Amino acid sequence: MTDRAMQEPTLLLLTALADEPRHGYAIAREVEAISGGRVKMRTGTLYGALERLLQQGLIEVHKEEVVDSRLRRTYTLTSPGRAALAVEAERIAATAREATRRLGVSGKAATT
């Protein structure tokens, strides 16, 4: 990975795989849950992104099985994927801490 911020779909996909291996449909549901329903990945987008993450070495195929006459792949994070996610999580947390600090400096609560 580069020093660039991770794109949100990548962040969500890696986060969806951080706690356990999952197959495509389960990953899509997990992404939707993590994003509070804001992000719904279409099948083509999901599998294109998974293929890219496989090529980058951030995820790997954990298991392949035939279910209802169709091949089902289960994906898991690799060590580099876990490390990239940890770096991005810390970057986001540092930005959030700084935003919170700066909001507190003004002494005024944000209004909407």
Per-residue pLDDT of 19-38, as tens digits, reads 999 999 999 999 999 999 99
Residues 6+ apart with CB under 8 A from 43: 24, 28
| Dist. CA 8–CA 56, nearest whole Å | 16
| Dist. CA 15–CA 68, nearest whole Å | 28
Whether residue 99 has pLDDT greater than 90:
yes
pLDDT at site 4: 82
Whether residue 62 has pLDDT greater than 80:
yes
3-state DSSP assignment of residue 27? helix
